[in-house]
Structure formats: C-alpha cells, structure tokens
Amino acid sequence: MGAEICVAAQAALGEPLISATEISAADGFRLWADCYDETPNPLLALEMRLLAEKNLITPGMRVLDAGSGTGRWMSRAQRRGAHVFGIDACHEMVLRAERKTGLRGRSAIADICSIPLGDGAVDLAICSFTLGYVSRPAASLQELARVSQHIIVSDLHPDAVCAGWSRSFRSGHQRYELAHFNHHVDELDRCAGETGLDRVWRIEASFGEPERELFARGGKTDAFDEACSVRAVLITLWQKRSD
C-alpha cells in the first residue's frame, strides 16, 4: 500500500500539525490515492536512493511489487528493463498505477497474504512500506517466499516509531493517521527464519543531504538536522534458504 509521511517530516515540509483523525489503512489509502504521487515524501526518497545504490534490478528480471500502490517501484523496475507485476489491496491506488505509461494491465487487486502467482514466479519481490499494515507478518513473508527467491522489505524504522513519528497524511484541511502494527525487528527476523529465509543484508538509515531539498521546499530547513538524528527506514534483503 505504499508509504507514509511522519509527523516530523510533515512539520519540516511546512505542514501544520493539526490534530489527526485515526482511520483504517484501507480507508486511508482510498482517500490518499488522488494526491499520493504529488505528496512530497522524504521517507520514500530515502528508501529509493538507498536501494538504487544496491543496483539490484537488472534487465530481464521478473519483479513483483507487493503493495504496489500507484506503481512507484513498478515504474522504476520497468525503466531498468525488468518484467514487472504489482498487487495492492486498494482499488483506487491500482487505478492510478494503471494510468501510468507501460503499467496498464500490470496490477491486480490482491492481498499480500494471498498472492495470485505461482511458486517461484518472480526473481525479486519488493514489499515497500506495506508490512506495517499487515497483522500477520509471518503469513506475508511465507507467501512472498513462495513466489520469489529474493525479498526486499522496507518500512518505517522502529526508532522513528519510538520518536513519535506517525503513519499519516493530509487531505484538504484534515490530517489522517493510519492504523498500523509495530512489528519489532526481532519478530520479523524470527518470522523470516521460520519461513526459510536468510538475511543477506540490512540497512538502518537516517535522512541525508539528498533529502535536504525536500525539507527546504517547505521552508523548514532548520528541522532537517533534528530529523537526521533518528533512524528513519529499515530495509532488509532476505534470500530463500538453499536445501
């Protein structure tokens, strides 16, 4: 289902910190779909930059975007020459992805706990800022491992959660906070291990200079240094264990 903007980042981007209305993730992403791509999001920028440096997507690769939203990772993978497919539970988000160049017919409305693909159908599955909206991470990781040899999972870092950052967005004059689940790193590692996945690498990163422009765009450059003091994203690459 995509990404989120933390409260600290909202303030840095010039968003007034009005009181939030808690809303389910399903209802929230339906509301967010129309402006999702136009909303500045330092977390997505950081995640995209870090994974781009890994250069994991190669021409001809089969890539699944699990929780594809408006097709952000599908578009990037396609530009890299990959064969892409996306699933998302939000009809409105999928419709936005379908309108993008080259992505028509590449998405399906589906749950990441029940992926409509055969065993080993893809080479790489990307689950970007989605697992935090899933109550059963073990079921999701098991399904991702069924369809892919390699799995990338990114999400809001637990340190950011502890610092009070929220999964929220603004629509009009209202701010909405999405209901979510805080999965501890140890819990994810345990679920992955039980599913037959081994960790290849992990990134725990804070904002850096490339994200400064997003803060400056809102005239809140002074908030950048404080935001940089917190680890913002957690990204892990898992690989299916050899028998």
Residue 149 has pLDDT above 90, yes or no: yes
Domain contains 217: yes
> What pLDDT is stored for residue 21 in this prediction?
87
pTM (2 decimals)? 0.89
Domain contains 32: yes
Domain contains 167: yes
Quote the domain boundaries for residue 96: 7-240
Looking at residue 1, the DSSP 8-state letter turns out to be -
Do residues 35 and 239 lie in contact, with contact meaning Cβ atoms separated by under 8 Å?
Answer: no
> What pLDDT is stored for residue 38 in this prediction?
83
**Res. 5 pLDDT band, cuts 50 70 90:** very low
Domain count, the chain: 1
CATH number assigned to the domain comprising residue 145? 3.40.50.150
Domain contains 2: no
Domain contains 51: yes
Domain contains 159: yes
Task: Determine which of 4-8, 69-73, 143-147 has the lowest per-residue pLDDT on average.
Answer: 4-8
Query: How far apart, in whole angstroms, are the C-alpha atoms of residue 108 and residue 89?
Result: 8
Q: How many CB atoms lie within 10 A of CB 226?
A: 12
DSSP string, 127-175: EES-GGG-S-HHHHHHHHHHHEEEEEEEEE-HHHHHTT---EEEETTEE
Token digits of residue 86: 């996306």
pLDDT tens digits for 89-119?
A: 999 999 999 999 999 999 999 999 999 999 9
Q: How many CA atoms lie within 13 A of 28 on its CB side?
A: 23
Measuring CA to CA, how many Å separate 52 from each of 57, 60, 78, 89?
A: 9, 17, 13, 26
Domain contains 1: no
